[in-house]
Structures are given as C-alpha cells and as structure tokens.
C-alpha cells in the first residue's frame, strides 16, 4: 500500500458524504494535502476487517476493485468503464 492509503480510506469512512469523499480521493485531489481523519473506533474496526479480507483473497495494493466479477488493480478507469458498459449491454 502507498503511504497515505489507510488515511485516505479512513477519510472516506469518516465522511458524512462518502461518495464525495471517494471522488476526492480517487481524483487525486488530496494527494498533496494533509488528510483530516476521525478517531472513531468503528472506522478502525472496519478498516481492520477490510485489510483481513483483502489479505485472505490476495489483494496487495490499492485501489483494487471487483467490477462485474472482474478484478481491477489500480485506478484503471478505462477498464472499469469497459466492464460497466459491457455489463449494461448484456442486460
């Protein structure tokens, strides 16, 4: 994981508007900024559970997404779009 991955995940989980926070993180908007995060124990528990699940299935980096059953390593937006669009075409 890159050095700020956990802080970015915590930022998303701590945010009231998680979709907006996710978009900020994924767009790189926070890459060169100090990331303010909460100290909510529930968030830490969720992060620990996610890390354990990721290790169990062999995920070694962030972001790693599963889109329509396909593993997408990294922020490969072109691949994500193809997978989402191909799923729409089969409906």
Determine contact, residues 29/89, Cβ cutoff 8 Å: no
**Predicted local confidence at residue 71, as pLDDT:** 86
| Chain mean position to CA 88 | 23
| Banded model confidence at residue 1, pLDDT cuts 50, 70, 90 | low
This model's pTM is above 0.85: no
pLDDT exceeds 80 at position 2: no
As separate numbers, helices (DSSP H) first and strands (DSSP E) second, the chain gives: 4, 2
Residue pointed to by tokens 């937006």:
77
Burial of 3 (0-12, 13-18, 19+ CB in 10 A): exposed
| Banded model confidence at residue 5, pLDDT cuts 50, 70, 90 | confident
Q: From CA 80, how far away is CA 72, in angstroms rounded?
A: 7
Cis-peptide, bond into residue 63, ω within 30° of zero: yes
């Amino acid at each position: 994981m890159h050095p700020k991955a956990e802080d970015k995940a915590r930022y998303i989980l701590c945010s009231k508007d998680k979709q907006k926070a996710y978009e900020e993180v994924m767009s790189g908007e926070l890459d060169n900024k100090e990331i303010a995060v909460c100290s909510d124990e529930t968030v830490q528990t969720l992060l620990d559970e996610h890390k354990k699940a990721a290790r169990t299935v062999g995920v070694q980096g962030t972001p790693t997404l599963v889109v329509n059953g396909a593993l997408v390593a990294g922020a490969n937006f072109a691949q994500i779009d193809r997978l989402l669009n191909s799923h729409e075409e089969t409906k």
